[in-house]
Amino acid sequence: MSLLLSNIPSRRTVLKGGAAVVALQVASPFIIAARGETPVKIGMVDPITGVYAALAQSEVEGAKLAVERINKAGGVLGRSLELLVEDSANDTGTGVQKTRKLIDRDQVDVVLGDVNSGIAYAMSQVTNEKKKLHIVPGGHTDPITGKDCRWNVFRVCNTTTMDANAIADTLIEKFGKKWYFITPDYAYGHSVQAAFEKKLKEHGGTSAGDLVPIGTVDYSAYLIKAKSYGPQVLINVMGGVDQVNSLKQFVQFGLDKQMALGGSLLELESLLALPNEARIGWWVMEWYWNQPDVPHVKEFVADVKKATGKIATARHWFGFVAVNTVALAAAAAKSLDGVKMAQAMQGLKLPPEVALQPGTVEYRAGDHELMATVFAGEAQKPQGDPNDLFKVRSLVPGEKAAGPVEETGCHIQWPA
């Protein structure tokens, strides 16, 4: 495992007015506080340990940056903002337990999480029961803002349908309609494969594939089956360390000489952890740092670099947007009441310094999904800057990728 994927904070951090005291302890809340006797509390649950740890770490770092900026600007409703982070350890029961702890014991006003969309969904049952605004920064499975949507749940990252729709036609047109899937066996994987298969069937294509347990290290059996099937495209839906391992082995087996490679989401954290020969294939990014003509992006990238020593990724942006959304919703509602904030968020547009991309970025009222640009393109070896590992080929508007609200299955029921 690379240093990037294994460098997970392990002790507690307390920042007051931006001064770091010690490092993050995953078993305890991570707290950022500024001036104010009664802070506004945001509870964040993410898999700080496990195969998605690098992604979670970036989300937390982006959230921290937002908290520091907001506190320097005067806080939320005139009060300081405090962030408490808990480790779900990529386990649903733990994620639910930590969510209840944050609400019942720590008295948080808003909940964020989880990278693992199955955990995010389970958390939403608790936050809905407690009538707390819940923002999902980076859990993608469609039902969260689809058939199982809730009045109190909003999502920053794309749905799996959005990601699949943004790249599927390109994969079909460039490489063909016979695909083989390597898919993680949980809610996210099932959802994204279903979205791809829907597009493939519309074009008369065929597919086969395997559902793979999270944490798998040896992909040889799956790759041998893929080779035997003889697809035109191998669709890799794995994430985090799992995606890094599977892509490395795809190249080691020489399959890159026999079939095209692609999928929906390839995180920059994963690209950075791959060797050059495995930086291949056609994918989507949900935000990308190399946007030279978009206002405020350079400032955000510089701030992330200063705070973390790393390039800004979509996960940094997810955490940054989630915390800024809390501040924007509270200001619009003039309240921290969950229902009032949720109502204020319907149709809420992100200002340019938060959106950090072209076009209008807003939370769609019908399903509470953020309509953001999808960056579709191909992985590449470093181009000058060692962090420039993705060539954006098209910018797909969120509304186009998402399709109409009526097709999501979302019917929001508000409390009486």
- Give the tens place of pLDDT for each residue, 133-169: 999 999 999 999 999 999 999 999 999 999 999 999 9
Same domain, yes or no, for 320 and 397? no
Q: Is residue 109 part of a domain?
A: yes
- Residue 125 is encoded by which pair of tokens? 């049952």
Same domain, yes or no, for 258 and 391? yes
Q: Which residue from 92, 67, 72 is spatially nearest to 82, judged by alpha carbons?
A: 67
- Residue 185 is encoded by which pair of tokens? 């066996």
Contacts of 48 (CB under 8 A, 6+ apart): 8, 9, 24, 26, 56, 57, 60, 85, 87, 88, 89
Same domain, yes or no, for 101 and 237? no
Contacts of 326 (CB under 8 A, 6+ apart): 40, 42, 76, 81, 110, 133, 135, 341
- Residue 359 is encoded by which pair of tokens? 């076009």
Q: Evaluate the omega torsion of the peptide bond into residue 114 and state whether it is cis, within 30 degrees of 0.
A: yes
- Residue carrying the six token digits 């390597």: 182
Q: How far apart are the first and last CA of the chain?
A: 50
Q: What are the residues facing 283 on neighbouring strands? A: 377
Q: Is residue 367 part of a domain?
A: yes
Predicted confidence at residue 21, as pLDDT, reads 28
- In this structure, which amino acid lies at residue 54? A
pLDDT digits (tens, 9 = 90+) for 310-345: 999 999 999 999 999 999 999 999 999 999 999 999
Same domain, yes or no, for 286 and 303? no
Same domain, yes or no, for 137 and 244? no
- Residue carrying the six token digits 């291949």: 280
pTM score of the predicted model = 0.91
Predicted confidence at residue 4, as pLDDT, reads 33
Predicted confidence at residue 18, as pLDDT, reads 36
Phi/psi of residue 16, nearest 5 degrees? -125, 120
Predicted confidence at residue 362, as pLDDT, reads 98
Same domain, yes or no, for 28 and 145? yes
Domain range for residue 389? 161-290+374-402
Same domain, yes or no, for 300 and 154? yes
Q: Is residue 416 part of a domain?
A: no
The pLDDT profile of the chain, 416 residues, written as one tens digit per residue, is: 333 333 333 333 333 333 332 233 333 444 554 444 689 999 999 999 999 999 999 999 999 999 999 999 999 999 999 999 999 999 999 999 999 999 999 999 999 999 999 999 999 999 999 999 999 999 999 999 999 999 999 999 999 999 999 999 999 999 999 999 999 999 899 999 999 999 999 999 999 999 999 999 999 999 999 999 999 999 999 999 999 999 999 999 999 999 999 999 999 999 999 999 999 999 999 999 999 999 999 999 999 999 999 999 999 999 999 999 999 999 999 999 999 999 999 999 999 999 999 999 999 999 999 999 999 999 999 988 999 999 999 999 999 999 999 999 999 999 98
Predicted confidence at residue 416, as pLDDT, reads 85
Q: Say if CB 90 and CB 214 are below 8 A apart.
A: yes
Same domain, yes or no, for 311 and 393? no
Predicted confidence at residue 170, as pLDDT, reads 97
- Chain centre distance of CA 272: 17
CATH number at 255 reads 3.40.50.2300
Same domain, yes or no, for 102 and 30? yes
Q: Is residue 282 part of a domain?
A: yes
Predicted confidence at residue 230, as pLDDT, reads 98
CA 40 – CA 80 distance, rounded (Å)? 6
Furthest CA-CA distance within the chain: 65
Rg of the chain's alpha carbons, rounded to an integer? 20
Give 210-232 as a DSSP string. Answer: EEE-TT----HHHHHHHHHH--S
Q: Is residue 123 part of a domain?
A: yes
Same domain, yes or no, for 380 and 244? yes
- Residue 181 is encoded by which pair of tokens? 């899937």
Same domain, yes or no, for 96 and 224? no
Q: Is residue 412 part of a domain?
A: no
Work out the number of other CB atoms within 10 angstroms of the CB of residue 100.
15
Q: Say if CB 26 and CB 48 are below 8 A apart.
A: yes
Same domain, yes or no, for 104 and 234? no
Q: Is residue 189 part of a domain?
A: yes
Q: Is residue 331 part of a domain?
A: yes
When divided into structural domains, the chain yields a total of: 2
Beta pairing class for 260-265 and 233-236: parallel
Helix (H, G, I), strand (E, B) or coil at 275: coil
Predicted confidence at residue 237, as pLDDT, reads 96
